[in-house]
Amino acid sequence: MGSIRGGVEAMPEGRPFATGSLLGLGGRAAVDKALQRLVGAGEIMRVARGIYVRPRVSPYVGKVRPQPQEVAQAAAEAMGATIAPHGATWALALGLTQQVALRPTFLTDGSTRHLRSGKLMIALLRTTPRRMRLAGFKAGGAVLALEWLGEHPDAAATIDRIREALGQTEFGLFMDEARRFGGWIAKATSAFERGGRRHA
């Protein structure tokens, strides 16, 4: 167990890690057994299936659980994948909704996976390379936010709010990406331009 313990102790406090990251130090059964012992000893926490952490300790609340994004990132890295913000996350960040998701959700270029972490269910949803690219910057995230909000008769009002949230330069990028996105989003942004609201 010594080398496995050493591997665990080398992990940064507060940063979740997957079981697989220790398999170079021993077989799967040995790693699982060592991790169970360390959990029992209170040295690490199991934060999701196959995901552990050396917790940071707060003088006020004791052991601090990692954030859902950190758990999702560790799970994605274990699959050789990455994560990106979901359209709902971008909608909240841009002030387009006040709805906070009960289930933290992330886009991934890996497999769809659902993780239970404490009382939370964390979702990693496989998506297209195009959406992963859009999720990586603000103007692209606004396109995903609009898609998540869904088609509705007053989409122009939502696009106007996006313009206010982004500023003129990034809004121009948003319009370019939205036109390329196609479907009802491209039609809505074209209608917005024809209505002259971008000059409001």
CA angle 79, 85, 87 (to 5 degrees): 125
Q: Is the pLDDT of residue 195 over 50?
A: yes
pLDDT tens digit sequence for 59-79: 999 999 999 999 999 999 999
pLDDT tens digit sequence for 8-58: 999 999 999 999 999 988 889 999 999 999 999 999 999 999 999 999 999
Q: Which residue ranges make up each domain of the chain?
A: 2-64, 68-199
Q: Is the pLDDT of residue 151 over 60?
A: yes
| pLDDT on residue 31 | 94
Residue type, 51: I
Picking from 83, 155, 134, the residue whose alpha carbon sits closest to that of residue 112 is: 83
| pLDDT on residue 84 | 97
Q: Where are the beta strands (DSSP E) in the chain?
A: 17-18, 45-48, 51-53, 56-58, 62-64, 83-85, 105-108, 113-117, 120-126
Report, as an integer, the average pLDDT of 120-149. 97
| pLDDT on residue 200 | 46
pLDDT tens digit sequence for 96-125: 999 888 899 999 999 999 999 999 999 999
Q: Is the pLDDT of residue 197 over 60?
A: no
| pLDDT on residue 17 | 96
| pLDDT on residue 2 | 63
Say which residue the tokens 């933290």 belong to.
104
The fold for domain 2-64 equals Arc Repressor Mutant, subunit A (1.10.10)
0.75 surpassed by pTM: yes
Q: Is the pLDDT of residue 159 over 90?
A: yes
| pLDDT on residue 97 | 94
| pLDDT on residue 196 | 64
| pLDDT on residue 194 | 86
Q: Is the pLDDT of residue 1 over 80?
A: no
